């Protein structure tokens, strides 16, 4: 344990824990690990807030707009069949040959067996109302945190010149507005770690789980080592794209205006390219790797921190592949080009926007 918490592991040669966590004579805040307990409180508050907003605002709004409150095929459930149920528990998507063998075994037609598996899968899906409510909650959260992030960061010198993220480290104070931006954002990701197991499931569940774990570790790590300035920039760059993504999904569920939906999807794609494939790697990660190297110098935890930033960039590229698949399906109306994350039986356009690209996510 001593080796794990040693200064040699986490800090440059000329910096000590005592200096990193020393109280400032002007009384301004110095990041301390104990402050992270506030993020846990914020996470619990997010769980309560989400329950209240969904229950008393979003579910009633979705029902008022006539969104289906039950999964597709729930009104006409499949006939129970012990043999097919046993296969379904092991494999929800049997091959054509496997379904043909089952048809011969049961005396059914191949089409009947295929329809049974399709309807069985659809019964396990979330309703359109549930998907709308989830996306609407994400839209509200990301819109609010984006506005707040811009408001608190636009006046900071490091917002305009990322070198100031490192100049003066580790003696940089944290202003109250940045403290709350960090704790609220980290609290949200604590709540997301819970909701990822209860929300609508997508094929990129593993990627999303990795994303949330990396984000929580990265934010906690950056707070404890006072990398708060670069961490705040990482948050802001990631927050820009999410309101547009979830608004696109809300329009897909609640509106028949496909033109408006497709226009918003284009805006989402452009924002993704600009923020996550351009600004993030060539401004934020560049500063974390090269400005910090020149001003502070590399050390052990420096490699860990930048490694986490690069993991996020890899996820950005993976998710952009999914985005391109969705765009291709919308343009060509080709059912074979639909979103590879999807597990739906719907059309390519609806399906791609239905499952979307849930990325933060951050």
How would DSSP label each residue in 72-139?
TTTTSPPPP-HHHHHHHHH-SS--HHHHHHHHHHHT--HHHHHHHHHHHHHHTSPPHHHHHHHHHHHH
**How far is 319 from 311, CA to CA, in rounded Å?**
12
Token pair recorded at residue 353 = 């926007």
Query: Which range, of 190-199, 203-212, 326-335, averages the lowest pLDDT?
Result: 326-335
Token pair recorded at residue 312 = 């996020």
Q: In a 3-state reduction of DSSP, which class is residue 333?
A: coil
**How far is 86 from 68, CA to CA, in rounded Å?**
29
pLDDT at 355 over 50: no
**How far is 357 from 342, CA to CA, in rounded Å?**
10
Give the torsion sign (CA, 208, 209, 214, 220).
positive
Q: pLDDT tens digits, residue range 62-77?
A: 999 988 776 655 556 7
pLDDT at 8 over 70: yes
**How far is 93 from 115, CA to CA, in rounded Å?**
11
Confidence of residue 45 (pLDDT cuts 50, 70, 90): very high
- Tokens 């819109």 belong to 143
The domains of the chain, with CATH numbers, are: 25-63+127-335 (no CATH), 72-124 (1.10.10)
Which phi and psi angles does 205 have, rounded to 5°?
A: -55, -45
Closest CA to 315 of 209, 200, 194, 195: 209
Residue 173 has a pLDDT of 93
Q: pLDDT tens digits, residue range 94-127?
A: 999 999 999 999 999 999 999 888 888 877 677 8
Token pair recorded at residue 103 = 């048809």
* H helix count then E strand count, the chain: 18, 0
Q: pLDDT tens digits, residue range 224-240?
A: 999 999 999 999 999 99
Q: In a 3-state reduction of DSSP, which class is residue 29?
A: strand
* Distance between first and last Cα of the chain: 30
**How far is 211 from 361, CA to CA, in rounded Å?**
7
Token pair recorded at residue 38 = 């506030």
pTM for the full predicted model: 0.80
């Amino acid at each position: 344990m001593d080796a794990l918490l040693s200064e040699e592991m986490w800090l440059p040669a000329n910096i000590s824990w005592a200096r990193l966590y020393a109280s400032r004579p002007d009384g301004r805040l110095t990041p301390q690990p104990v402050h992270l307990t506030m993020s846990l409180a914020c996470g619990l508050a997010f769980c309560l807030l989400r329950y209240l907003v969904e229950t008393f605002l979003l579910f009633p709004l979705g029902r008022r707009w006539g969104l289906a409150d039950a999964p597709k095929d729930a009104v006409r459930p499949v006939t129970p069949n012990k043999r097919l149920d046993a296969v379904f528990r092991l494999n929800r998507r049997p091959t054509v040959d496997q379904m043909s063998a089952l048809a011969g075994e049961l005396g059914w037609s191949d089409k009947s067996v295929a329809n049974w598996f399709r309807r069985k899968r659809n019964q396990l899906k979330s309703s359109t109302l549930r998907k709308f409510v989830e996306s609407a909650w994400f839209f509200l959260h990301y819109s609010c945190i984006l506005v707040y992030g811009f408001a608190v960061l636009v006046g900071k010198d490091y917002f305009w010149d990322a070198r100031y993220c490192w100049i003066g480290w580790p003696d940089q104070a944290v202003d109250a507005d940045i403290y709350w931006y960090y704790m609220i954002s980290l609290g949200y990701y604590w709540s997301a770690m819970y909701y990822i197991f209860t929300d609508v499931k997508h094929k990129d569940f593993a990627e999303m789980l990795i994303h949330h774990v990396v984000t929580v570790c990265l934010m906690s790590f950056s707070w404890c080592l006072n990398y708060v300035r670069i961490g705040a920039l990482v948050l802001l760059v990631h927050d820009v794209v999410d309101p547009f993504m979830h608004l696109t999904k809300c329009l897909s569920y609640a509106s028949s205006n496909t033109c408006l939906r497709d226009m918003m999807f284009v805006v989402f794609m452009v924002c993704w390219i600009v923020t996550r494939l351009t600004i993030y790697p060539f401004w934020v990660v560049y500063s974390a790797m090269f400005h910090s190297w020149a001003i502070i110098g590399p050390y052990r935890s420096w490699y860990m921190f930048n490694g986490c930033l690069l993991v996020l960039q890899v996820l950005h590229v993976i998710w952009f592949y999914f985005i391109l698949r969705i765009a291709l399906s919308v343009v060509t109306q080709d059912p074979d080009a639909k979103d590879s994350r999807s597990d739906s039986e719907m059309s390519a356009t609806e399906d791609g926007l239905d499952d979307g690209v849930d990325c933060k996510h951050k």
